[in-house]
Amino acid sequence: MRLALDTNRYSDLCRGDEFVLELVETSDEVWLPFIVVGELRAGFAAGTHGPRNEAVLRRFSAKPGVVILYAGEQTTHHYANVYRQLRKQGTPIPTNDMWIAALVLEHSLVLCARDAHFDALAQITRI
Q: What is the pLDDT of residue 119?
A: 96
Which amino acid, 91? Answer: T
pLDDT band with cut points at 50, 70 and 90 for residue 6: very high
Is residue 110 within 8 A of residue 33, CB to CB? The reply is no
Helix (H) or strand (E) holding 112: strand 110-112
Banded pLDDT at 12 (limits 50, 70, 90): very high
Per the rule left: phi > 0, alpha: psi between -120 and 50, beta: everything else, 35 is: alpha
Q: What is the mean pLDDT of residues 62-72?
A: 97
Helices within 27-118 (DSSP H only): 34-46, 50-61, 73-89, 95-106
What domains, with CATH codes, occur in the chain? 2-120 (3.40.50.1010)
- Among 79, 73, 1, 70, smallest CA distance to 32 is for 70
pLDDT digits (tens, 9 = 90+) for 76-93: 999 999 999 999 999 999
State the pTM of this model. 0.95
Span 23-59, pLDDT tens digits = 999 999 999 999 999 999 999 999 999 999 999 999 9
CA-closest candidate to residue 37, choices 65, 1, 71 = 71
Amino acid 106: pLDDT: 98
Q: How confident is the model at residue 71 (pLDDT cuts 50, 70, 90)?
A: very high
For the beta carbon of residue 46, count every other beta carbon within 10 angstroms.
8
Question: Given this model, what pLDDT does residue 54 score?
Answer: 98
